[in-house]
Amino acid sequence: MPRLSDSVQYLKGVGPKRAALLARLGVRDISDALQFFPRKYVDRGDVVPIAQVEAGRDVAVRAKIVEMRAPRWGDRLEAMIADRSGSMRAIWFHARFLVRSLQTGAEYLFYGRAGEYRGYRQLQHPRFERVREGAPGDDGDRILVEYPTTEGLQQPSLRAMAREALRVGLPLARETLPDPMRERLNLAPLPEALRLIHRPRSMDDVRRARRRLVFGEFFLMELAVVLRRRSTLRSHNAPPIPVSEKVDARIRARFPFRFTAAQDRAIAEIRADLARDRPMTRLLQGDVGCGKTAVALYAALAAVAAGYQAVLMAPTEILAAQHHHNVQIYLVGSRVRWALLVGGLPAAERRRTLRRIRHGDADIVIGTHALLQQDVSFSRLGLAVIDEQHKFGVLQRAGVKWQPAADNPDLAPHYLVMTATPIPRTLALTVFGDLDVSTIDQMPPGRPPVETRWVHPDERIGAYAFVRRELAAGRQAFVVYPLVEENEKSDLLAATEEAGRLARDVFPDFRVGLLHGRMKPAEKDAVMDAFRRGDVRVLVSTLVIEVGVDVPNATVMIVEHAERFGLAQLHQLRGRIGRGAARSTCILMGEPQTPEAERRLQVMGETADGFRIAEEDLRLRGPGEFFGTRQHGMPELMIGDIVEDYDLLRLARQEALGWLERDPALAAAESAPVRRALAKRFGETLRLIEVG
C-alpha cells in the first residue's frame, strides 16, 4: 500500500534521473507531486489569430515557425511565426537551449504576454506546445495546464507525472480543514480540489479548486502566526513602564517641536503597551521623514524615567551615528546619559562603553549589530528599539533577545521595531502578523513635497546645470551611484571615478565629497560631518546613504542608473532630501531595459506616498523578495498569492482567530485535521505548540 511520503519514484514513469530533476523543483515524494500546482492555464478554445493579437495581453496563438535565428552574440533565441492571418516574432532571452526543442516548419501552440517592439508584434518568452495531428495539444483537453519546469523536464512529462500522482495519491489525501468550516464557506473537499487543479474541464473548475486550496494554505499560515505570537507573549514577562502625565510633559519638553496628531496616536499606543507586564512587540511604520525617530526616543525616555535602560539598534554605522547625533541635540543639558557602540570603536573605548552599559552608567545605548555580541550585557534593560528592521531580516529580529539583567533571566524588555518602508496590508497579516502595528501617516508641517523627474542619460548636461543653480543658491546636493568602483564586466558609472570627474569637470567651484561602504568609520564620519556643516556641497555616494542621513539644506539629488534600484531603495534615497522648508527635486537618471524597470521609474514620478509605493513594490517583486521575506521563517506559499488573493487572506485570518477563540489548544476532535496539517507544515520551523 503506497503512502504519501513514498518517493516520487513510486509513480509510473519516474525513474532516478527524472526524480533528480524533480527534486530541483521541490518534488521528492507523492505528497509533493500532488501539491506541485500548475502555474498557468490556457483555454485552448480561446486561441486567437495573429492579426488580432493585442500588446499587453496574455494570448494563445496557433502558428508555424517560419524562421529561427540565434544571434552569435548574446543568449537569446528569435523565431518568426505565422498563421493564415499574419506573422509576428517570438523571442526568448537566456534560452538559446530551446533551439533543440523547436523545429522550423512545425506547428505549435504559443502562449504568453504579447508586446510590441518598434511597431512589430512579438511574444516575449512564450511557452509552447507542439500541435499533433488532429488535436491542438498532446492530450486534447481544452484547458492546458503548465507547470514550473527546469532544464531537462518538458511539460508533457510533468503532466503525466501529475496524472499518475492523482491516481495513486488522491485516495490517500486527508482533509486539512474542519468539515463544519468547509461546508459553511462552500469550499470543495480537498481530494476534489486537487483533482480539479490538475485536470480542470473549465476555468470555473480552476477557480473553484484555487479558492479551496488557497484558503486552506492561508488558514494554516494564519493559525501559525497567531500561535507564534501567543507563544511569545506567554513565555516572558516584561517590566511595566507606566508614563504619568508629569513624565509625559517632561519628555515632550525635550523636543523643539510639537508632535503631529499621528505621532501622538502612536505614542498613546506605545504607552499602553509599556504599562503592561507583557513584552510589547510593536511595529512603528511611517513614511520617510514622518518623525518615527522622535517617537522612538520618547519611548526610550519613558523607560529611562522609570529607571530602565533603552537600546536603539540601527543596521548601519551611519544611521547609528545619525541617531547618536539627534540624541545629543535633544538631550543636551539633561541628566540622561548615552553611549554609542559600533563595530569600528577602538578596543579601549569599546571596553569602557561595555563597562558603562553593564553597570547602568549609560541610560540610552545606540549601536549596530555590535550590540548583539555576547559580551554586551545590560544592568536594567527595559526597551529595545530596532530601526529599519527589515535590513536585519525577520529571523534576526526574532533572534534579538536581550535580558534586562543577569539575575532575572525570565524577564524580557519591550520591543519596538521601526521601518520607513511601509508594510503592505498583506504582509501586515502574514510576515508581520506577530506584531501590533502603529502607523504615522502624517508628515510634519512645513515640508513641501519632493518633485521627482525621470530623465534620460542624454539629458545629463541639463541636470548638472540645474544642480549648479541650486548650489549657487547656497543649497547642497547628492549624486548617488549603484557601484563603488567600475569593473570590466559592468558598464555602470561608479562612485569613486565619478567623484573625481564631477569635482574636476562639473562642479569645480564647489567641494565634492565621497561616501561609500568600504570606507573606514572615521572616514565616513568625517565626510558626513563636513556635509552637515556645509563644507562639502556635493556628496557623491552609494546606497550607504539610503537611510539615516538628515541634512535639511540638501535640496537636490541625482540617482544615476536609477533603473538598477528597487522601488523601496529609490523611495528611501529620495527621502534624504526634502527635509527642510525649501522645495527639493529628485532626478532619476535611467534607461530601463525591461517593463518592470520602466514601471518603477513611472511610479516614482507619480507618487511620493510610501504606502502606495510599498504596495506597488510588492506587486512587482512578489512576496518572496519584498523585505527579504524568503527569510521569514515560514515555508514558501505553494499556491496562494498574498497580493492577488488578499480577500481570501483576510477571510482566512478571521476564521483562524475565531477557531482559536473557540478551541485555543486545538484539542477538540474537529480540530484534529488542523493539528496534523500544522505539525507537518509548520511544527519544525516555528516550534509552535505540541501538535500531532
Helix pair 567-574, 595-606: axis angle to 10 deg: 30
How far is Cα 392 from Cα 385, in angstroms, rounded to an integer? 13
Neighbours of 333 (CB within 10 A): 6
How far is Cα 674 from Cα 32, in angstroms, rounded to an integer? 19
Beta-strand runs (E) in 70-106? 76-83, 86-93
Percent of the chain with pLDDT over 70: 86
pLDDT attached to residue 27: 93
* Averaged pLDDT of the chain: 84
How far is Cα 443 from Cα 580, in angstroms, rounded to an integer? 12
Ranges of CATH 3.40.50.300 domains, the chain: 241-275+291-419, 451-607
Residue 12 reports pLDDT greater than 60: yes
pLDDT attached to residue 688: 42
398 CB burial (10 A radius; 0-12, 13-18, 19+): middle
| Average of per-residue pLDDT across 635-655 | 84
CA distance readout (Å), 47 to 78, 86, 139, 261, 474: 22, 14, 16, 56, 63
pLDDT attached to residue 351: 93
How far is Cα 340 from Cα 346, in angstroms, rounded to an integer? 12
pLDDT attached to residue 326: 85
All cell numbers assigned to 69 = 535565428
Residue 680 reports pLDDT greater than 60: yes
Residue 343 reports pLDDT greater than 90: no
Q: Which range, 43-52, 63-72, 468-477, 525-534, is most confident?
A: 468-477
Tell me if residue 342 falls in helix, strand or coil: coil
pLDDT attached to residue 396: 38
688 CB burial (10 A radius; 0-12, 13-18, 19+): buried
- CB 208, CB 196: distance < 8 Å: yes
How far is Cα 625 from Cα 558, in angstroms, rounded to an integer? 26
Fold of 241-275+291-419: Rossmann fold (3.40.50)
All cell numbers assigned to 440 = 504615522
CA distance readout (Å), 689 to 178, 226, 410, 692: 19, 11, 20, 10
> Sign (positive/negative) of CA torsion 314, 317, 322, 324?
positive
Neighbours of 681 (CB within 10 A): 19
All cell numbers assigned to 214 = 488557497
Residue 48 reports pLDDT greater than 80: yes
Q: Among 27-31, 175-179, 288-292, which is the least confidently predicted range?
A: 288-292
pLDDT attached to residue 370: 86
How far is Cα 408 from Cα 589, in angstroms, rounded to an integer? 55
Q: Which range, 124-128, 320-324, 438-442, 505-509, is most confident?
A: 505-509
- Give rounded-to-5 percent helix, strand, coil for the chain: 45, 20, 40
Right CATH for 40-146 from 3.40.50.300, 3.90.1300.10, 3.30.300.30, 2.40.50.140: 2.40.50.140
| Average of per-residue pLDDT across 219-244 | 81
Instruction: Give the β-pairing of 107-117 and 58-69.
Output: antiparallel
Percent of the chain with pLDDT over 90: 42
pLDDT attached to residue 596: 82
Say which residue, 214 or 431, is predicted with more confidence: 214
E strand or H helix at 143, and its extent? strand 143-146
Residue 670 reports pLDDT greater than 80: yes
* Number of residues that make up the chain: 692
Tens-place pLDDT, residues 77-89? 889 999 999 999 9
pLDDT attached to residue 137: 42
- CB 366, CB 320: distance < 8 Å: yes
pLDDT band at 538 (very low <50, low <70, confident <90, very high): very high
What is the DSSP annotation of 451-487?
Answer: EEEEE-GGGHHHHHHHHHHHHHTT-EEEEE-SBSS--
Tell me if residue 494 falls in helix, strand or coil: strand
What is the DSSP annotation of 14-51?
Answer: --HHHHHHHHHTT--BHHHHHT---SEEEEGGG---GG
Q: Among 311-325, 413-427, 523-537, which is the least confidently predicted range?
A: 413-427
pLDDT band at 401 (very low <50, low <70, confident <90, very high): low
- CB 536, CB 512: distance < 8 Å: yes
pLDDT attached to residue 166: 95
Say which residue, 303 or 393, is predicted with more confidence: 303
How far is Cα 142 from Cα 154, in angstroms, rounded to an integer? 19
Q: Does the pTM of the predicted model rise above 0.75?
A: no
Beta-strand runs (E) in 141-249? 143-146
The position carrying cell 506573422 is 87
- CB 88, CB 81: distance < 8 Å: yes
pLDDT attached to residue 637: 78
How far is Cα 560 from Cα 564, in angstroms, rounded to an integer? 9
Nearest to 512 by CA among 553, 540, 549, 552: 540
Ranges of CATH 2.40.50.140 domains, the chain: 40-146
How far is Cα 99 from Cα 91, in angstroms, rounded to an integer? 11
- CB 542, CB 485: distance < 8 Å: no
What is the DSSP annotation of 331-350?
Answer: HTTSS--EEEE-TTS-HHHH
Tens-place pLDDT, residues 429-476? 666 666 788 888 888 887 788 999 999 999 999 999 999 999 999 999
Tens-place pLDDT, residues 279-330? 888 889 888 778 899 999 999 999 999 999 999 998 888 788 888 888 888 8
Q: Where are the alpha helices (DSSP H) in 477-594?
A: 495-501, 521-533, 567-574
pLDDT attached to residue 307: 93
The CATH class that applies to domain 451-607 reads alpha beta
Instruction: Give the β-pairing of 120-130 and 476-480.
Output: unpaired
Tell me if residue 194 falls in helix, strand or coil: helix
Which residues face 145 on adjacent strands? 41
pLDDT attached to residue 644: 80
Residue 145 reports pLDDT greater than 80: yes
- CB 259, CB 252: distance < 8 Å: yes
